[in-house]
Amino acid sequence: MFSELLKTNGYAELRRVLGELNPADIAEEFEDMELSDAVRVFRMLPKDAAAEVFAYLPSGIQQGIVEKIKDFEIKNVVEEMFLDDAVDFIEEMPAGVVKRVLSNLEPGKRDIINQFLKYPENSAGSIMTIEYIALKERLTVREAFDKIRAEGIDSETIYTCYVTDSERRLLGDVSVRALLLAPPDARVTEIMDTSVVPAVTTDDREKVVGGFRKYGFLAMPVVDNENRIVGIVTVDDVMTVQEEEATEDFELMAAMSPSDDPYLKTSIFTLTKNRLPWLMLLMLSATFTGAIISGFEESLATIPALVAFIPMLMDTGGNAGAQSSTLVIRGMALEEVETSDVLRVLWKELRVALLCGTALAAVNFARIVVMGGDVILSITVSLSLLSTVMLAKTVGCILPIGAKKLKLDPAVMASPVITTLVDAGALLLFFAMAKALLGA
């Protein structure tokens, strides 16, 4: 749409359209345009809209634009952006671009950004912003509104203000709702809520998401080790983090290294790089399962029919284990399951495994017998199936909890790893049963 207006020199119309669109929608249009066209349109945006649109762009296009615009334009955009958006942008840029961007900022802004870049990845500090309103404890409601009116336009959220003492230590928070409903001469300390639960800069960002989930915050203050407020995390950023964490788990659980980029924007080399090491590792592990089969070649030579049950046993074991590990991994991500629950989980899973395994074994027994199979053979297969399901569900619930206990990401212990392990166990069980019951 923009490109056509550019071609026909419909600048007035273009300006009108830009004025009506939401910055997120303008950014979306940019993604499908030639970079040179996007830069032309970008330069037509007013300063504040330009900064907003820029914050919504994927980092590839951000870099393309920065490389084409002048130093003073970079300064305008970055200084107009909210600090958290500016930090997100700079974190994704190559070193040369970072240097050029930082050298064009005012020293104060540069220092703050440099400090933010130092917070550990995935910490509360790395997702917070400094555009919040702090109210000194002696202020009245009327004075608080004056301060909000004076500073509000630059604050990421004005709906929660933070009351501090003279040393910037956090005393409580007060919502604009409470301020609006209070008498103008009341002190903010009289109406503030002291039950506020702050995050510390070094807290894991998942803990921050947990806080929002539990309390339904719009914003959460972040303090340093001496309880001095240094920033806030806002709900829109938390929604993004929540979705990124879920995506990361989906990818890990399907044996891929997680990536932040949208699928269609990821190159095939990156996709391969994220997938191949896992496939390789799991392929080599699966050769051990093959070695187990080789070890029982004699049994298979005696009763060739055994081999036909291998896929069913392996698949059912893998599926049963994946069910358990998925519920446990997700439960831990949502803080519903703790590592200390390991025995409760195991006890639950063993009973579910017994119920599921018995039903599956019964149907399997009936199927083999109805189709004219040998009764002892079908007993062998059904008992192997039941024990495989029991084993799979045990492994499936224990491994993710164990991983968490070892401070690893539990999502690694998902379907692919469980399947590979359970396959080996299923075959060992199967051949042992065959030896015992069929003499194979």
Give the span between the Cα atoms of 115 and 319, in whole angstroms.
47
Our finding on whether 60 is near a second copy (CB under 8 A) is no
Residue 257: phi and psi, rounded to 5, are -70, 130
Q: Scan residues 156-175 and list those touching a second copy (CB under 8 A).
A: 158-159
Our finding on whether 72 is near a second copy (CB under 8 A) is no
User: Which segment (43-51, 115-123, 238-246, 429-437) binds a second copy by CB under 8 A?
Assistant: 238-246
Q: Scan residues 2-41 and list those touching a second copy (CB under 8 A).
A: 20-22, 24, 28
Our finding on whether 278 is near a second copy (CB under 8 A) is yes
Our finding on whether 1 is near a second copy (CB under 8 A) is no
Residue from the set 263, 370, 406, 407 that interacts with a second copy by CB under 8 A = 263
CB of 297 to a second copy, least distance (A): 5
Q: Scan residues 121-160 and list those touching a second copy (CB under 8 A).
A: 145, 148-149, 152-153, 158-159
CB of 56 to a second copy, least distance (A): 9
Comparison of 69 and 134: residue with beta carbon closer to a second copy: 134
CB of 321 to a second copy, least distance (A): 10
Our finding on whether 47 is near a second copy (CB under 8 A) is no
Could you give the residue ranges of the DSSP H alpha helices within 141-267?
Answer: 141-151, 176-181, 188-191, 205-215, 235-253
User: Which segment (33-41, 99-107, 289-297, 401-409) binds a second copy by CB under 8 A?
Assistant: 289-297
Question: Is 407 strand, coil or helix?
Answer: coil
Residue from the set 38, 199, 356, 398 that interacts with a second copy by CB under 8 A = 356
Residue from the set 299, 323, 384, 387 that interacts with a second copy by CB under 8 A = 323
Q: Where are the beta strands (DSSP E) in 76-228?
A: 134-136, 160-164, 170-175, 199-200, 219-223
Our finding on whether 180 is near a second copy (CB under 8 A) is yes
Give the span between the Cα atoms of 358 and 385, in whole angstroms.
9
Question: What 8-state DSSP symbol labels residue 255?
Answer: T
35: Cβ contacts below 8 Å, ≥ 6 apart: 61, 64, 65, 68
Contact by Cβ (8 Å): 217, 210:
no
Query: If we measure between CA atoms, which residue out of 200, 230, 232, 225 comes closest to residue 123?
Result: 200
Our finding on whether 283 is near a second copy (CB under 8 A) is yes
Give the span between the Cα atoms of 330 and 324, in whole angstroms.
10
Residue from the set 171, 220, 233, 256 that interacts with a second copy by CB under 8 A = 256
Residue from the set 50, 51, 87, 360 that interacts with a second copy by CB under 8 A = 360
Our finding on whether 311 is near a second copy (CB under 8 A) is yes
Contact by Cβ (8 Å): 317, 422:
yes
Residue from the set 345, 395, 399, 433 that interacts with a second copy by CB under 8 A = 345
Our finding on whether 114 is near a second copy (CB under 8 A) is no
Give the span between the Cα atoms of 14 and 6, in whole angstroms.
8
Give the span between the Cα atoms of 433 and 256, in whole angstroms.
36
Our finding on whether 290 is near a second copy (CB under 8 A) is yes
Q: Scan residues 413-432 and list those touching a second copy (CB under 8 A).
A: 415-416, 419-420, 423, 427
Query: If we measure between CA atoms, which residue out of 399, 385, 388, 374 comes closest to residue 424?
Result: 388
The CA–CA distances, whole Å, from 430 to 78, 103, 440 equal 64, 68, 11
Question: Residue 400 forms beta bridges with which residues?
Answer: none
User: Which segment (6-14, 59-67, 225-233, 275-283) binds a second copy by CB under 8 A?
Assistant: 275-283
Question: What 8-state DSSP symbol labels residue 198?
Answer: P
Our finding on whether 176 is near a second copy (CB under 8 A) is yes
